[in-house]
Chain A
Amino acid sequence: MFIPYDLTKTEDGYQFTSDFGLTYFLYFSKYYLIDENGDDLIVTSFGFFHDPEKVRVNDQRIKATIISFIIDYFEKNPELGILYLCDPRDDLARHRRIIFGSWHREMDQGIEKFDCNKYHAKLGYYSSLLIKADNPQKQHYVDAFYRHLNELIPEEA
């Protein structure tokens, strides 16, 4: 496993600079899923971008940093979920979901991933819910995740 980069807390989130001079900015924003009883379930959405934007470098330490970041999140917030929506920029949403899926398989920390179904993926809504397997509210989160997606774009019968 590669050594994660050191993160610095900023006003908006977190940042780190890679060995190749790319500065990565990471942020969490807060949302609410509503369960079947009408109660709020807090989820955070996780996003990141880098500067300069167009430079692409294969740096395994970046992957290690993001994985470690998510593991740290669940260690400190085991009762919450993460909602992830792949950026459709450059028509690479599907590609991003494949990469994210492979990163998730490397986490191995009792963190489960629930993906949107094929119908929503086909329409470009590549989204996933990450949640601890032992979260007592897990089923409420999972049900609410799929219900909100279906509210947004009802599946054709």
Chain B
Amino acid sequence: MKPFTTPCQKKKKSYLYLIMKDKKPNSKPRPQRENPFVKMIRDKKRIKEAIANGIPLSSLNDIEFVHPI
């Protein structure tokens, strides 16, 4: 005799199956890195322009300013 399963259990089972099926590998794909010198030269130019135009550096979104101290 087949074990009795409620509709709710069935739903749960299929949901779990979907999770397992779609499970992605643990390691995240590594972002493609640009040559740091290329980015640094471009960033320096943009920083200089921002300063000359009185634009706050924090508005340069793709430059990662940090406070290591």
Other-chain residue from A7, A29, A30, A148 in contact with B37 (beta carbon distance below 8 A):
A148
Number of A residues near B (Cβ < 8 Å) is 38
CB pair A13–B36 under 8 Å, yes or no, is: no
Residues on B facing A (Cβ under 8 Å): 30, 33, 35-41, 43-44, 47-48, 51, 56-58, 63-69
* CA–CA, A29 and B57, complex, Å: 11
CB pair A85–B40 under 8 Å, yes or no, is: yes
CB pair A125–B33 under 8 Å, yes or no, is: no
* CA–CA, A45 and B68, complex, Å: 11
Contacts of A14 in B (CB 8 A): 67, 69
CB pair B38–A152 under 8 Å, yes or no, is: yes
Other-chain residue from B36, B40, B56 in contact with A12 (beta carbon distance below 8 A):
B56
> What are 30 A-B contacts defined by CB distance under 8 Å?
A7-B69, A11-B57, A12-B56, A12-B65, A27-B57, A28-B66, A29-B43, A29-B63, A29-B64, A29-B65, A29-B66, A30-B66, A32-B33, A38-B30, A44-B66, A44-B68, A45-B40, A49-B48, A49-B51, A69-B69, A73-B68, A76-B68, A83-B40, A85-B37, A85-B41, A125-B37, A148-B36, A148-B37, A152-B35, A152-B38
